[in-house]
Amino acid sequence: ARFAASSINYNRSKWSGRDNSFYPIRNDAGDVVTKARFCNSGAKNFRLSQEEDTYEGTLQCSSITPIGHAIACPGRINRCKKTTVCESESCPVVYVGHNLIGNEFHWLPPEYLSKWWLENWSHNGTVQDPIEQHLKSLAETWCQSENARKPRDPRKYKELYENCSVPLAHRVDKDLTNIFGDEHVNWSDLYASLPVLRTTVLRDPFSWLVSKFFWHYHQTDYNQNHNITCSDIETATARMDYRNVSMKDPGIGWVSRYSMSYIAHLCGEECLIRWKNGMIGLPELEHQSEQNLRHAFAVVGLLNETDSYYSMISTRIQYIDTSLNQNVSGSKHSTGKSDAVLQCQSLYQDPTFQKKLLSASDEFAALDRLIKVGISVNRFQQEELNACNAG
């Protein structure tokens, strides 16, 4: 809500609605040269199986590289007004959603991605760059076997998935790994080099677990058939192969599954697919997530310091003015204040219980370390931005 309201001409009865608001992108002389537009949850998520339940909806993708996702699994920003501005070498869109890092590869314009690739990664010379050729196909004939252009809607994408997306993903992934190394490569440098300004807000992992538990516990009928409690560490951290198990059900191993879901958001869509394919494990996910936190986010905020976060946004991203329309706020996602909730919140702040939980779940311990990294990044960014303001 605060991002939507941090724009010129904001005039909505509901923050997620539509109006003629925009974000003024100015040149060095202060003149508005481009108007960026707001978009809320308009991009589909891409997973190994389209049956996975996600907020924005799910499409299937088999690629194990970020570039493979861009080329073999193209998407669009839907349900957002005036997104035609995102059809050239620039893409002035302020996008918010529940998507994993890297989702932007699906909907950034081909010209934008081609320019980025040529300026940062292209292996120019006497040998033709295969990735450059693949990126050109996004604006030309995307699928040679079907003589088809890039699909512009989910229905057409699903029709072409097996005959076009799957073989194309294999070719692009092979070409990319020939350049960078085998499938275990860490793609954080690629994410960091993409000229987009990403932000994220991190939360104390113990407090987050309690909210996550009760949110999904009451959103599903699981609690009608199972007596799962937040205090049962053995059940919460039970070892199991949950690569193909829902990340949302508050059942056996819920702490480890929720933690992996959080880590995946910091690691990337291709990262999640490689893990589900058994190509990488928790150490690789944690390492790429850590590098993404350190280098791929323009602003890392903390939920308990939201005022500071909004101030950092306005300082780092000059066309987003978070001082505007401060009366606008989003709907509450509170866990509530029932006795059960309060008891769990108290328990999860107990140092002895925290230590036991961290020892019982490798996944949650990895998430805890990543949140600590995020806090250190936040402190560094605050110092950097304060120095800019002082200068």
On the question of pLDDT at 219 being above 60, the answer is no
Q: Please report the pLDDT score of residue 327 as a whole number.
A: 87
How far apart, in whole angstroms, are the C-alpha atoms of residue 270 and residue 274? 6
Three-class DSSP category at 171? helix
Q: How would residue 126 be classed by pLDDT, with cut points 50, 70 and 90? A: very low
What integer pLDDT is reported at residue 1 of this predicted model?
87
Mean pLDDT for 76-101 is 80
> Cα–Cα distance between 260 and 308 in angstroms, integer?
28
Q: Kindly list the strands in the beta sheet with 32-40, ordered across the sheet, starting from the edge strand earlier in the chain.
A: 23-26, 32-40, 93-96
Question: Which residue is associated with the tokens 């949650």?
Answer: 364
Most confident region among 77-81, 148-152, 224-228, 376-380 by mean pLDDT: 376-380
- Per-residue pLDDT, averaged over 99-127, amounts to 88
pLDDT at 227 (0 to 100):
74
Which DSSP string corresponds to 51-120? TS--TT-EEE----SHHHHHHHS---B-S-TTGGGSSSS---EEEE-SPPTTTHHHHS-HHHHHHHHHHH
325-378 tens-digit pLDDT: 988 887 777 777 888 899 999 999 999 999 999 999 999 999 999 999 999 999
From 99-103, 183-187, 247-251, the region with the lowest mean pLDDT: 247-251
pLDDT of residue 249: 66
What is the spatial distance between Cα 67 and Cα 87, in angstroms, rounded to a whole number?
18
Helix, strand, or coil (residue 325)? coil
In this predicted structure, what is the pLDDT of residue 352? 98
The CA distance from 6 to 27, in Å, is 19
| pLDDT number for residue 105 | 97
**264-276 pLDDT, tens per residue?**
999 999 999 999 9
In degrees, rounded to 5, the angle at the alpha carbon of residue 208 between the alpha carbons of residues 207 and 212 is: 125
Query: Pairing state of beta strands 199-202 and 299-302?
Result: parallel
The one-letter amino acid code at 270 reads: E
The arithmetic mean of pLDDT across residues 41-48, rounded, is 94
Q: Which residue has the higher pLDDT, 303 or 339?
A: 303
Give me the pLDDT at residue 225, please. 45
Q: Are 279 and 64 within 8 A, CB to CB?
A: yes
